[in-house]
A and B are shown apart, each in its own frame.
Chain A
Amino acid sequence: MIEVKNLKKSFGEVTVLFDISANFFPGKCNLIIGSSGSGKTVLQKCIVGLFKPTSGDILYQGKSILGMDTQERKLLRQEIGMLFQGSALFDSMTVQQNVMFPLDMFTNDSFAKKLKHVNEVLERVNLTGSNKKYPSEISGGMKKRVGIARAVVLNPKYLFCDEPNSGLDPTTSLLIDKLIQDLTREFNTTTIINTHDMNSVMEIGDNILYMYKGYKQWEGNKKEIIYSDDERLNEFIFASEFLQDAKQMRMLEAKQKRKESH
């Protein structure tokens, strides 16, 4: 489990995160949602250790990341996998080399064993046969899947995904969401996903944290979010006209159910 306690982050005189406290659970897809500029990415980068918080604490299995020495932090990071918004694949390496890179760096396995493992992971993300392609030769959705493959190849305890659906069509987005959810369940990973994609929220949101201008505005799950009476959250999730209609339909349904139960 990852615990965030009273986290504050400032860049110079600009404060981006204000007193954030949250828990992220293993085996669940923990979503951080919010509009652009709400502080999702900064929060995730603080949790993962790329940014040092101005104040507050982050605990991995009860141990503070801020109190760890370099070696402990290095070991912790080997248990973390991360999918970046732009995939962050190594341009000069093929798909196979990208996925094999963590194995090359942290294991002493033979090439044949590593290749077998890479092929298994690539098969898991539906990328069989793409081993020899370079990142410039594959689509955005494939890049994301290679990023996921690289992130999970060492079976991490913690998986971080920064806007995994950005720039993808709805079908590919669903595939990516499903893949992340399956991997989370299968390996009991503590998965933290930054997104502002409402389809993802409704598909995989086991635990949802809504951020508004650097504050934690709301916390709940996908069943609760639709019936929330938080105005700011409602503005965010029912932003489109289509969803306004959906909200009204949901409210009518809820009313109907209440009547029936009486």
Chain B
Amino acid sequence: MKLLSHIGLYINTMKGMFTRPENGRMYWKEFMHQCSEIGIGSMPIVLIISVFLGAVMTVQTAYQLVSNLIPLSTIAVVVRDSMLLELSPTIICIVLSGVAGGKIASELGNMRISEQIDALEIMGINTKAYLIAPKIVASMIMVPALVILSVVVALWGGRMAGAATGIIDPETYDRGLAEGFKSLNVIVTLSKAFTFSILLSSISAYFGYNVKGGALEIGRSSTLAVVVSCITILLFDYILTFLLLNP
């Protein structure tokens, strides 16, 4: 029952965003601000995680490929496809649901508790459109960009780790990256990143916007936003993988 009421309120909140902006210039300014917050703000952690993901994937794949019959370039193929199909979109979006999603929820929660949302409403501003929509649209653009960046950095990280440990030389690694490349994998990456971006931003915004109580509830709603975003991302990860890669 509680789940159904949450879903109903979530749909209602999202539906309320679709109105004509009071002033397009202000909405654009807010959108650009959110692009910077979500995109630039989350970039350092995305870069760090991606380098290590790529490095670990290279070492781990080499450890598992013990047969002399398998060429070394296969390590790069496995790292590339793992990063594209699963690790970059899913892990990075889960991290972003904590970094960007938590921030969205706590920012909106704080605005709700301190009556800043009421102040905007009194001015005649549609707060759902002004506060939530720019965050979701910015996420839809910045999250796929971060995921693509993550793939590139992870592949570079894998190349570095391979060279540093002597597992695979850079030339073989580069050859492996080009081997049997399917453009469908990039489409899967972007589809997942795009879907997850909507989920993580809208769920976080929903929990922040509808918070009731005081400072303690802001913390609770942020935590809940991250937990629900992660679970929903994993659920949709399975659904999208099944739909896009089911032979």
Q: For the complex, what is the distance from the CA of A78 to the CA of B22, rounded to whole Å?
A: 11
Are the C-beta atoms of A105 and B114 separated by less than 8 Å?
A: no
Q: For the complex, what is the distance from the CA of A74 to the CA of B125, rounded to whole Å?
A: 7
Are the C-beta atoms of B123 and A77 separated by less than 8 Å?
A: yes
Are the C-beta atoms of B23 and A88 separated by less than 8 Å?
A: no
Contact with A along B14-48 (1 / 0, CB 8 A): 00000100110110000000000000000000000
Interfacial chain B residues near A85, Cβ < 8 Å: 115
Separation in Å of the B169 CB from the closest CB of chain A?
A: 50
Interfacial chain A residues near B25, Cβ < 8 Å: 104
Q: Which residues of A contact B (CB under 8 A)?
A: 48, 50, 70, 73-78, 80-82, 84-86, 88-91, 101-102, 104-106, 150, 160
- Identify the closest chain B residue to A160 (Cβ): B122
Interfacial chain A residues near B116, Cβ < 8 Å: 88-91
Separation in Å of the B110 CB from the closest CB of chain A?
A: 8
The answer, yes or no, to whether B121 is at the interface (CB within 8 Å) is: yes
Are the C-beta atoms of B122 and A75 separated by less than 8 Å?
A: no
Interfacial chain A residues near B124, Cβ < 8 Å: 73-78, 80, 106
Interfacial chain B residues near A80, Cβ < 8 Å: 122-124
Contact with A along B56-80 (1 / 0, CB 8 A): 0000000000000000000000000
Chain B's interface size range is 10 to 19
Are the C-beta atoms of A105 and B122 separated by less than 8 Å?
A: no
Are the C-beta atoms of A50 and B23 separated by less than 8 Å?
A: no
The answer, yes or no, to whether B186 is at the interface (CB within 8 Å) is: no
Separation in Å of the A184 CB from the closest CB of chain B?
A: 18
Are the C-beta atoms of B122 and A50 separated by less than 8 Å?
A: yes
- Identify the closest chain A residue to B123 (Cβ): A102
- Identify the closest chain B residue to A107 (Cβ): B23
Of listed A76, A84, A85, residue having the most chain B CB within 10 A: A84
A84 partner, pick from B19, B22, B119, beta carbons under 8 A: B119
Are the C-beta atoms of B125 and A82 separated by less than 8 Å?
A: no
- Identify the closest chain B residue to A73 (Cβ): B124
12 pairs across A/B with beta carbons < 8 Å?
A48-B122, A74-B126, A75-B124, A77-B123, A82-B122, A85-B115, A88-B118, A91-B110, A104-B23, A104-B26, A105-B125, A106-B123
A82 partner, pick from B19, B110, B119, beta carbons under 8 A: B119
Interfacial chain B residues near A70, Cβ < 8 Å: 19
- Identify the closest chain B residue to A90 (Cβ): B116
Q: For the complex, what is the distance from the CA of A77 to the CA of B115, rounded to whole Å?
A: 16
Are the C-beta atoms of B121 and A77 separated by less than 8 Å?
A: yes
Are the C-beta atoms of B114 and A86 separated by less than 8 Å?
A: yes
Separation in Å of the A49 CB from the closest CB of chain B?
A: 8
